[in-house]
Amino acid sequence: MNFSGIPRLSPVWLTGCLGALGVLSLAGLLTACVQVKQFPLQEKFGSTETYSRRFDARAAQTCEAARRALLSQGYVINTAREDLVEGQKSFQPEPESHLQMAIRIVCAPESADGKVSLGFVTALQDSYTLKKSNNSASLGVGAIGSVSLPFTSGNDSMVKVGSETITSDAFYDSFFDLVKRYLATNDSHSEAH
């Protein structure tokens, strides 16, 4: 057979083409293997009892009782208004773990005369873990070259690893019971004066 009319392929060009084909095949294979994880819908609008309660008090009184309830449990108050209270508290259940609880209470009038209010509460818990990283020093000297020195330093930092809204009915029940207690205390102080 006479192949003189067919152009001859260089080995370098052929190797490059086969390499590119291999990379594209590998990329296609990896794309087929990687799947985006799908999560079911997390929100279910239903009962309002978990996150809210009705109080026989004005909105400002309800928020004041909520502020006192948080203070009684060691929370630091970030915001305190007649319609909003925000507080946070830190926990360290293990030496290399840290939790931070943030609670937000919104107080809104429920009746036309304002003597009944609703308290809406949400608690968010952030989880952190200790991340350690070591750094070593090296020194470059022009004539000698690079010299590694045995000096090391460690940088420890807390890295956020999770965040979730607390959904426990018992948690919110205990909080609202404490708010009611402070509302009753406030009522007894008002009657005494």
Query: Which pLDDT score is estimated for 183?
Result: 95
19 SS3 class = helix
Torsion region of 62: left, alpha or beta (phi above 0 gives left; psi -120 to 50 gives alpha): alpha
Would you list the domain boundaries of the chain? 48-192
CATH topology of domain 48-192: TATA-Binding Protein (3.30.310)
**Tell me, what DSSP letter sits at residue 5?**
T
Query: Which pLDDT score is estimated for 36?
Result: 75
User: Low-confidence residues of the chain, pLDDT below 70?
Assistant: 1-34, 47-48, 135-154, 186-193
Query: Which pLDDT score is estimated for 193?
Result: 46
Task: State how far the alpha carbon of 112 is from the alpha carbons of 13, 48, 62, 108, 131, in Å.
Answer: 84, 21, 16, 11, 53
Task: State how far the alpha carbon of 190 is from the alpha carbons of 61, 80, 115, in Å.
Answer: 11, 21, 15
Sign of CA dihedral 35, 45, 120, 91: negative
Query: Which pLDDT score is estimated for 29?
Result: 53
**CA nearest neighbour of 94 among 164, 158, 166:** 158
Query: Which pLDDT score is estimated for 123?
Result: 97
CB neighbour list of residue 162: distance below 8 Å, 6 or more residues apart: 126, 127
Query: Which pLDDT score is estimated for 40?
Result: 77
Query: Which pLDDT score is estimated for 136?
Result: 61
Instruction: Compute the half-sphere exposure of residue 162: CA atoms within 13 Å on the CB side of its CA.
Output: 9
Query: Which pLDDT score is estimated for 79?
Result: 97
Q: What is the value of pTM for the model shown?
A: 0.67
Query: Which pLDDT score is estimated for 47?
Result: 66
The 3-state secondary structure of 30-73, one letter per residue: HHHHCCCCCCCCCCCCCCCCCCEEEECCCHHHHHHHHHHHHHHC
CB neighbour list of residue 63: distance below 8 Å, 6 or more residues apart: 80, 81, 82, 83, 84, 85, 105, 107, 119
Query: Which pLDDT score is estimated for 81?
Result: 97
